[in-house]
Amino acid sequence: MSVLAILNLIFFAALLGFLYQLTKNDTSLSRRVLTGLVAGTLFGFYLQIAFGYSGAVTDQTLEWTNVIANSYVNLLRMIIMPLILVTMIAAVLRVEEIKSLGKIGGSVVGILVLTTMIAALVGILMASIFGLNAGELASGARELARAEALETRRGSVADLSLAQLLVSFIPRNIFSDLTDARATSIIAVVLFGLLFGIAALLVSEENNTHGDRIRAFVDTTQTVVMKLVNIVMNLTPYGVLALMTRVIATSDGSAIVTLITFVVASYIAIAIMFCVHAMIIGLLGANLRSYFQKVWPVLTFAFVTRSSAATIPLTIRAQIEELKVPAPIANISASFGATIGQNGCAGIYPAMLAVMVAPTMGVDIDLGFITSLVLIVAIGSFGIAGVGGGATNAALVVLPAMGFPVTVAALLISIEPLIDMARTALNVNGAITTGIVTTRFLGEEVVDDGSAMAAQP
C-alpha cells in the first residue's frame, strides 16, 4: 500500500472518530447521519480529484473504507429475514381478526401499484418535456457490448408470465428463502410468516395456555430482534460515511456530463414524486417537517446503498417507533414495498426509457401508448428485486413487453448509480407513505392494541 493511501486512511479514521465524538455529545441520529453524508461526499470528491476515480491510490483507499461500508450493509442484510419473519408473526398475533390481514395486504398492494402508475405518468411527462430520444445517445463499442449482455440476461428476468410470477411468491422451501435465494424470497418469507402467525393465532384461540406461551415467546423474540435493529441503526452514520465515499470517488464524471439532460430530467421526476408523497401525507393531516425529520436516516441509507431490500429493517423501525404505524401494517408495507410497486425503479425509469425509444421505433406517444405503458409498468412492478440494478431489471421487463429493444438501458448504465440512489430513496419513501395511508384508513379497524398512528407523526 502506498504512503498516500495510508495517509488517506488515517484521515478517514479521524472522520470516524469525529462521528463517534458526536455520539458521546448526544447529537441526534439524523444529524449524525447528515454529517456522515456530507463528510463522505467531501472525502469522495477529494479522492476523485486528487487521484482519479479509477486510480491506484483511490482503489487502495476504498479497499479499506469498504470494510466499513460492506460490513454495515451485511449487518443489515443479516437481520432482514429474521426481522420480517418474527415481526410478521407478531403482527398477526396482534390483529383482532384474521380477515383484517386481507384488508391490510390489499390496501398496501393497491396503494403501491397506484403510486407506481402515477410515477410512470410523471416519467412520461418529464421525458416528453425534455424531448429525450434514444436515437441521440452515442453507442460505442462498450455500450453495444453491454446491450448484448442485457439481451442475454433478459431471458432470465422477463420470461415469467404473470401467473408464473404469482406462483413464485409462494414459499416452497422456507429455509432456502430465508437465505434470500430467489428474487421473490422476501414476499415468500412474508407469506410464510403470515401463515405461521395465522396458525399460532388459531392455536391461541383453541387453548389459552398455549396462547399465552406463544405470545410470550414471540414478544420476547421480537424485542430481541428490534434491539438488534437499534444496535445496527446506531452504526448508520459510519456506514453512510464509507458508502458515500465509495459512491462519489468511483463516479465517472465524464459519463455524467455526457448524459446530464437525462440525469436532470430523472431528478426532477423523482422530486415531483416526493412532492406527491408529501401531498398525500399532508392531506391526511400529518406534520411534514416532523415526518421528514423522522425518516431522514432511512432515506439517507437507501440513497447511499441503492437497496430497498437492505433498508427494510430501518423502514420497519421508523414506521413502528417514529411514526407509530401499527406493526402489521409497517411490516407488510416495508416488505412489499421492496418488491412491489417501486415508484422510482419500477415506475419512473422504465416509463422514461419507453418514451425515449418510441420515436426510434416509429411509435406515436398518444393516449393509447400511454395507457398501455402505464398498465405494463404496473404489472411489471411485481417481483422486481429491491437491490442495486433493480431499475434495469424493470426496464428488461417493460421494454420487451412494449415491443422495444433493451439497448437504451445499456447506454445509460454508466450513470445508473447516480440516479439509482435517489430512485431507491423514493422507493422507500413510497413504502413508508403506503404504511401511513393504510394506517389512516384501516389502523383503528385492524389493530386492537391502541397503536394506531397519532395525527401528528
Q: Which long-range contacts (CB under 8 A, 24 or more apart) does 197-204 make?
A: 197/88, 197/89, 197/90, 197/91, 197/92, 197/93, 198/92, 198/98, 198/101, 200/89, 200/92, 200/93, 201/92, 201/93, 201/95, 201/98, 204/93
Residue whose grid cell is 391461541: 204
DSSP 135: G
pLDDT at 385: 56
pLDDT at 270: 95
pLDDT at 451: 40
Q: How big is the chain, counted in residues?
A: 457
CA atoms within 13 A on the CB side of 3: 0
Report whether 160 contacts 168 (CB < 8 A): yes
Q: Which residues contact 105 (CB under 8 A, 6 or more apart)?
A: 332, 336
Give the distance, in angstroms, between the CA of residue 217 and the centroid of all CA atoms in the same chain: 31
- Cell numbers linked to 71: 460490513
Q: What stretches in the chain show pLDDT beneath 70?
A: 91, 94-100, 135-162, 165, 183, 251-259, 383-390, 393, 406-407, 409-417, 443-457
CATH of domain 3-446: 1.10.3860.10
* pTM of the model as a whole: 0.68
Structural element, H or E, at residue 44 = helix 29-51
pLDDT at 96: 55
pLDDT at 409: 67
pLDDT at 219: 83
Distance of alpha carbon 59 from alpha carbon 56, whole angstroms:
5
pLDDT at 146: 52
pLDDT at 140: 46
Which residue intervals of 234-348 are DSSP H helices?
236-249, 253-258, 260-283, 288-305, 312-317, 327-337
pLDDT at 155: 43
Residue whose grid cell is 414476499: 187
For residue 161, the SS3 value is: coil
Buried b (16+ CB within 10 A) or exposed e, 6-20: eebbeebeebbeebe
Distance of alpha carbon 333 from alpha carbon 431, whole angstroms:
6
- Extents of the domains making up the chain: 3-446
DSSP 386: S
For residue 249, the SS3 value is: helix
Report whether 41 contacts 244 (CB < 8 A): yes
Distance of alpha carbon 335 from alpha carbon 342, whole angstroms:
11
Q: Which residues pair with 447 in a beta bridge?
A: 95
Report whether 409 contacts 395 (CB < 8 A): yes
